[in-house]
Amino acid sequence: MLRGRGVSPGVVSAPVVLLGEPLVEPDGAVTVGPADRAAEVSAIEWAAVAVADRLRRRTDAASGESRAILDASRLLASDPELVAEATALVQAKGRTAPRAVWEVGSAHARQLAALGGRMAERVADVLDVRDRIIAEILDVDLPGVPERDEPFVLVARDLAPADTAALDGGNCVALVTEDGGPTSHTAIIARSLGLPAVVAAAGATGIPADSVVLVDGDQGTIEVEPSAEVVEAARAASAVIAFDGCGALADGEVLPLLANVGGAADAETAAAARAEGVGLFRTEFCFLDRGDAPSVDEQVAAYRAVLGPFAGRRVVVRTLDAGSDKPLPFTDPQPEENPALGVRGLRLARRSPQLLDDQLRALAAAARQESAHVEVMAPMVATVAEARGFVERCRSAGLERVGVMIETPSAALLAAELFAVVDFVSIGTNDLVQYTMAADRLLGELGDLNDPWQPAVLRLIHAVGQAGRAAGKPVGVCGEAAGDPALAPVLVGCGVTSLSMSSRGLGRVAAALAAVTHEDCRRAAEAACSASGAEEARAAARRVLANPENPLY
């Protein structure tokens, strides 16, 4: 039995297929004479174009998170700086085309790794693009996701975004990686595709190929050569549960269950899954892959496509959450030593106030043209002054329901004061955990710290919930924690009034809540918050909620 971090729910059993080994480093001792250097330069240029075109085709066939992540890789392949630097190595030092690309790509990856934080998340992306260009130059197959006629579990050290997105429609039924974290590209795409996934599983690549494994994306375990009885029991416990469109507790208390969406395709999927609304509409898709900001009219059309499927229902829109690992050329990004703590989210308005004002105008226009109940919230808020300024800008644009995200410990501690100026808050648990525990959320080695069950995090959520109750205003959760059926009752007991998650998680969370009363939730939250560690918090909640009719406990 191997243990890691479950990042996408579900249980499957299938033979293991190991991801192919990476390309061999091109020989640095080989040099090219002056007469042949132009041909090497041409090879680099054409290979970069070919890789970018291939990634563009994959991007066009993808949707939602997969599309955005693939497009970011395509931009890397199209980066003129990479081609220019590799060309310079060929011309000045006689490097071969493959060796020049290898050196430049490796140098860029080292620079990102040195920056740390969320910029370091892009290292795998850069190395993937580097290897793709080299494979194109050498006219060889790039080791990646294999094709199989039978279902298989893909095991790897880590996966590049393009490889993960390429799993859509194939016979891969689960993912296991030794590296990565709960919000890595592998985790995000696995959830969007509905593939059970476990990351940060030490020793996973040592599992022999073709061994049958049982992957539990809920518990974060991989059992090698399980018995037929164990497989059957695990599958029965993880059976997909349809959502009837009404979240409620056993005592009849209504608890809206909403969906997280990143574009029109996600919105259609969420509406078909009977989500009661949208608790997190990520608007970044409008701004990526551009040299300048989208016009107000372009944004209006994009927002209407998401609002349309939710006529008469609540849609909470998060304004642009760029910066850090998602820099935009038209915001004049500057290198930052600690990008996760830098100019991101609402802080972009310090540099580009017109960018925020145009987005608010577009959202107001889209809301007028559709019948969804639009609410707007700002990411990365740390002070009451920031919240007050955001509310004023929203109201000036014609948006009435305005809130903020609770992602920083300071915002959680100031919740009572924030409620004096905003209409609602939504807790982004991914970042709240990262900042509270001072642990990079993508670093698998720190997965035990980067856990929403940490009592310090639960106590902050409880403080926000109590402030919301005192103010009589809603408190949502839209981070990955909202889709954890074991944690959902604890969040409700902390004072959370709605949960927003991937559409695929709605049924299981609804079933978990339907088995408990509000008093059960309150007692479970009290027990978990009083614990001394994450595992103790899980066990404490489990003891309170033990119920033979609820398989989660």
185 given a catalytic annotation? yes
* Whole-structure pTM value: 0.71
Q: Which of 108, 172, 185, 394 is catalytic?
A: 185
The percent of residues in the chain predicted with pLDDT above 70, rounded, is 86
Return the higher-pLDDT residue of 552 and 9. Answer: 9
**Per-residue confidence (pLDDT) for residue 306, from 0 to 100:** 96
User: Which CATH superfamily is 257-545 part of?
Assistant: Phosphoenolpyruvate-binding domains (3.20.20.60)
Same CATH topology for 2-20+144-237 and 34-138? no
Amino acid at 159: L
Cβ neighbours around 332 below 10 Å, total: 10
What pLDDT is attached to residue 366?
97
Look over the chain and give the mean of its residue pLDDT values, rounded to a whole number: 87
pLDDT value at position 282? Answer: 93
- Between residues 423 and 78, the one the model is more confident about: 423
Q: How confident is the model at residue 430 (pLDDT cuts 50, 70, 90)?
A: confident
What is the rounded average pLDDT of the residues 60-71? 64
Give me the mean pLDDT over the 298-318 stretch.
96
Sheet containing 212-216, strands listed edge to edge, beginning at the edge strand earlier in sequence = 2-3, 221-224, 212-216, 11-18, 152-156, 172-177, 197-199, 5-8
Q: Is residue 118 pLDDT above 60, yes or no?
A: no
Closest CA to 145 of 169, 179, 122: 169
Residue-level pLDDT at 54: 79
Query: 343: pLDDT confidence band, cut at 50, 70 and 90?
Result: confident
State residue 437's pLDDT score: 95
Q: How many residues does the chain have?
A: 553
Question: Looking at 237-251, 271-285, 325-339, 522-536, which range is the least confident one?
Answer: 325-339
> 249 Cβ partners below 8 Å, 6+ apart?
255, 492, 513, 514, 516, 517, 518, 521
Q: Per mean pLDDT, which range of 7-11, 454-458, 462-466 is the poorest?
A: 7-11
Query: 2-20+144-237 architecture in CATH?
Result: 3-Layer(bba) Sandwich (3.50)
- pLDDT value at position 356? 95
**pLDDT greater at residue 366 or residue 123:** 366
Question: Could you tell me what percentage of the chain is helix, strand and coil, using 3-state DSSP and rounding each to the nearest 5?
Answer: 50, 15, 35
Q: Which residue type, as a one-letter code, is found at position 449?
A: L
- What mean pLDDT comes out for the span 51-69? 71
Catalytic (active site) residue 246: no
For residues 151 and 166, what is the distance between their CA atoms, to the nearest angstrom?
A: 15
Q: Which CATH architecture has domain 34-138?
A: Orthogonal Bundle (1.10)
Residue 335 confidence (pLDDT) above 80: no
The DSSP output letter for 282 is E
Q: Between residues 319 and 21, which one has the greater pLDDT? A: 319
Q: Phi, psi at residue 452, to the nearest 5°?
A: -65, -10
Domain map (residue ranges) of the chain? 2-20+144-237, 34-138, 257-545
Among candidate residues 172, 286, 394, 478, the one labeled active-site is 478
From the centroid of its chain, how far is CA 113? 20
Most confident stretch, 61-65, 412-416, 438-442 = 412-416
User: How much is the average pLDDT of 147-154?
Assistant: 84
Which residues are within 8 A (CB) of 331 and not within 5 positions of it... i.e. 6 or more apart? 322, 323, 348, 351, 352, 355
10-15 mean pLDDT? 90
pLDDT tens, position by position, 470-482? 999 999 999 778 9
Identify the weakest region by mean pLDDT among 182-196, 400-414, 494-508.
182-196
373/147: higher pLDDT: 373
